Structure 1
């Protein structure tokens, strides 16, 4: 009997047990589709992150002061941590004089509440020379009517998500509108909570740049930031621009040589590497979950074929009585397992692709900034999942097929 006839007999056997065969195939579909969907979503997320970071200036280092440990108890008592080094104009001048440094951009940062037209919006402020936005985020663009008034302490620039909050039908603020900003702080002399309120005029609205530092913030110049946030000339962070991305490591070493561990340095490259490591770990975790589902499908195949062997014992005995060899019986049941695996794995590819888009759509609905993210289905990954699904199916059918092939014809024909 040739292989074509063996496939025909196997398919007929599966058709006779439609419900059981369909449920077994469904188990394989669930496992393989889950692996495809999660792999596609993870690859898409990785590509999206890489694309977003490609918008950042690769030559910019983010410098902050390390925090000294306070003498308070571990449950919050005692004074708060203090910076090990004060970032002031002296530090700015010293870093600016280092080799390969093209610019140093000091910034003040804080949390403020904006009020416009009876509506309030909590956001962060990024107080720098507004013209330096193009250094930090080269892709910065503005909506029509915007202007940069770098020497005007009453001018404020809003990020698109601040001016037009996601989910709101009307904008929070428009260009030319006056709004009030309130900063809440603790007076270091009295220990009492105080508020500083100032009025600003919206001079511009930035389109999304892909830089999370400014895409969720407002910007006004350093004069306004120093006064409103009560910084007394002490900067929260310095953005150091190297001559090019090739000199970032050299600049970082020079800054470390000056300040050691008293200063914190972060680069877009380091952030991207950290995120990619997290994505890799997450991918391994989700793949292990999908693999468990696939193994459950393999157990289902064992159960189905073992039950099939029991039910078809007299059929096996008859085939052996008319001359069927053990190898024929073995191949017959292995082909049934192979058929279940091929159908389940193939269907799982299609279901997994659709599932990947559904998962991405659900993620994007929670975070509008990721609406451009799409799943990525790599041919090699798809092939690996398909081969793994089929391979596990055949492997799962080995024992029932071996059991069927070893059945003695006399014993089988005596079975009721």
Structure 2
């Protein structure tokens, strides 16, 4: 009797007990489906988080003022002296409107030394034009999405065109509108979604921002460290020097915290999935043990016909293996579908949004696309088969050790 015949014989035996075999297989399906779904959703969420911070350098810290402290040249010099600090880039930032061709759209205007932009945003590059020099008081760089009219594909602004920045400031509790014309010197290539929405930002020189916003102190600092390994030490030293008067943001830390939280939740659900597989294993033991008790006389007859102990062991072990193969396969397919459902629930059901309010731009909704690794899916499928075989070994061994004479006498 070859292996194919053994599998066919075992499969027919399972079909004779459809309800019991189906319920046992369903337990395996649920466990594997949960593992595969978590794998896909977890990978998708990790990719999303990494994507949000990918446009900002890993060695960049963002500092903003809080309280009475002013971010001025003195503070910049003190921070620049700290060990591990490579560069300190002060900036102005204001929520404003850009007007062109009779249309207006909101943007965050950043005034900074643009020769440092590539240090802050390694992926940044120009579609046309170039940086605005520090001596240029009328030049402006537009993020890619600012060149299109809101909600349409029509051109909002082009290279060399004049646009107007409209900025509102409260003086003595009275709103005052400031306007100034700027010439588009450069247009950035599309960067993509991120916690800092570069595509919806506009950049002018530090001197232009200082004059236009009529502001002595800076709104914040970009601190570029020698390497990401210096981030924590620089943050701690700044906190020791200025306490809670300065807010320090490390995108890398935020990313790690988010991934740690989601990792903890995923671990909890993975444990539930493993418990489900263990319950399925117990179900396989129970199913095969009951099957052995019901088929004692049949086992005796098989042995009388020449079946060896090894062959009887193989027949029952194949039943467990078939449950693992079918359950693992269906569970993998169901897990892929379930992963998209879990992603939909996470995004739509919980209504999770990230709004990069410090930099303006649109509300950034989480979009999780499940990502699967074929090797991991195959590993989970093989795991279900191995667990099924291990679970089925004892009942199969019991069946193979039955005495044929006693088995034939069994009623």
Q: TM-score, normalised by structure 2?
A: 0.70
Q: Distance in 1 between matches of 2:302 and 2:23?
A: 33
Where does residue 104 of structure 1 map in the other structure? 88
SS at match of 2:160: coil
Change in 2 beyond 3 A, CA 1:299/1:318: closer
Where does residue 36 of structure 1 map in the other structure? 36
**Alignment map for 1:187-226 (pairs within 5 Å):** 187=171, 189-190=172-173, 192-209=174-191, 212-213=195-196, 214-226=198-210
Where does residue 342 of structure 1 map in the other structure? 325
The answer on 1:375 being equivalent to 2:357 is: no
SS at match of 1:235: coil
Q: Distance in 1 between matches of 2:152 and 2:364?
A: 13
Identify the match of residue 237 of structure 1 among 220, 224, 240.
Answer: 220
Q: Distance in 2 between matches of 1:11 and 1:118?
A: 74
SS at match of 2:222: strand
**Alignment map for 1:150-299 (pairs within 5 Å):** 150-164=134-148, 168-187=152-171, 189-190=172-173, 192-209=174-191, 212-213=195-196, 214-229=198-213, 232-245=215-228, 247-249=230-232, 251-288=234-271, 290-291=273-274
Change in 2 beyond 3 A, CA 1:238/1:357: same
Gaps of 5+ in 2: 348-352, 354-362
SS at match of 1:106: strand
SS at match of 2:35: helix
Identify the match of residue 389 of structure 1 among 384, 391, 410.
Answer: 384
The answer on 1:319 being equivalent to 2:308 is: no
SS at match of 1:144: strand
Gaps of 5+ in 1: 68-82
Change in 2 beyond 3 A, CA 1:257/1:39: same
Q: Distance in 1 between matches of 2:135 and 2:279?
A: 67
Query: 1:178-219: CA deviations, max 9, x gaps?
Result: 3343334544x22x4554444433322212457643344222
Check the 8 A contact 2:68/2:245 in 1, yes or no: yes
Following superposition, the deviation at residue 9 of structure 1 comes to: 2.6
SS at match of 2:137: coil
Check the 8 A contact 1:34/1:290 in 2, yes or no: yes
Q: TM-score, normalised by structure 1?
A: 0.69
Change in 2 beyond 3 A, CA 1:201/1:292: farther
Q: Distance in 2 between matches of 1:180 and 1:363?
A: 41
Change in 2 beyond 3 A, CA 1:128/1:328: same
